[in-house]
Amino acid sequence: MAVMTYLEAIRQGMWEEMERDERVFLLGEDIGAYGGAFKVTAGFYDHFGAERVIDTPIAEAAIVGAAMGAALNGMRPIAEMQFIDFISCAFEQLTNMVASTHWRWGARVPMVVRGPCGGGVHGGPFHSQNMEAYFFHTPGLKIVEPATAYDAKGLIKAAVRDDDPVLYFEHKYLYRRIKEDVPEKDYIVPIGKGALRREGKDVSVITYGSMVHVALEAAAELEKDGVGVEVIDLRTLLPMDEEMVLTTAAKTGKIVVLHEDRKRGGIGGEIAATIGEKAFEYLDGPVVRVASLDTPVPYSPALEEVFMPNTAKLKTAIKELVAY
């Protein structure tokens, strides 16, 4: 075991997969000699060479298109979006082509598209978004978003080995803030399996990504008031661990769905609908969503604090639901 940051865990996972399988290669903007905007790929260019660490133009559609072509020809590309916000430039390639190819004519497209998501760093509306809901609607894609360093390494390795296209969202706020013991040996975190982060009897918080830490903080504070909060970390958004979601709903009967993405059209609505359809008889109150406001992400630190969910907002929602 070695103590490493969330960023270093991603870096080590990709490094190990490139050492393990010569078909794995990287492509993206400034990932070579510069080492990436956040230095996730620092040292890769010198070690693996220009043929496996490819600097590209600022052209996300071309990056994803090239990755798809390579995947169809037996390679296993990892394409980086310098900021995940700009994955929208490759929306057509991902939703119409990459996601549908296996469904249309049986060809596998083993590729990963990864990049930094999320706010809390005062990056403004073009460098702080959470884009997962845009792709959650698309059959054929898999979507993961780790909350811990252990999962960050295990999920990037699982994504590289998967025969289907995987979107790997990594929260930039966690890059150097989260540290934990991570095995240096080979391991994966299975795609499609959530994690029980904290047991509780009164209310369940279902969440993912950076909001896992908000949920755990709120749960620890509410424990002092005698409120038992169960925290579920989805880890994989598509395919979602529906069994874990329904199990916690049946256990506590009160559910808060927490995500950093905006509320309207967010993944939380789908989770709430699933619980309403399949676990309604267990509920002892409405399924509550805590999410960001339905506006662009503000530049102003003070406005961004108002925009995003936080521990105080979550505690208020939990208390109101418990008292329902």
- Positions annotated as catalytic residues are 127
Over its C-alpha atoms, the chain yields an Rg (Å, rounded) of 19
Q: Sign of torsion, CA 293 215 223 240?
A: positive
Q: Check: CB of residue 20 under 8 Å from CB of residue 73.
A: no
Amino acid making up residue 188: I
CA angle, residues 26, 29, 33, in degrees to nearest 5: 75
Closest CA to 267 of 287, 247, 284: 287
- Cα angle 264, 242, 116 (rounded to 5 degrees) comes to 55
Beta strands in the chain (DSSP E): 2-5, 24-28, 53-55, 76-80, 112-117, 142-144, 166-171, 179-182, 195-198, 203-207, 229-233, 236-238, 255-262, 288-292
C-alpha distances out from residue 23 to 74, 113, 121, 271, 288, Å: 7, 16, 35, 37, 45
Smallest CA-to-CA distance from 257 within 295, 297, 209 is with 209
The SS3 assignment for 2 reads: strand
Give yes or no for a contact between 51 and 26, defined as CB atoms under 8 angstroms apart.
Answer: no
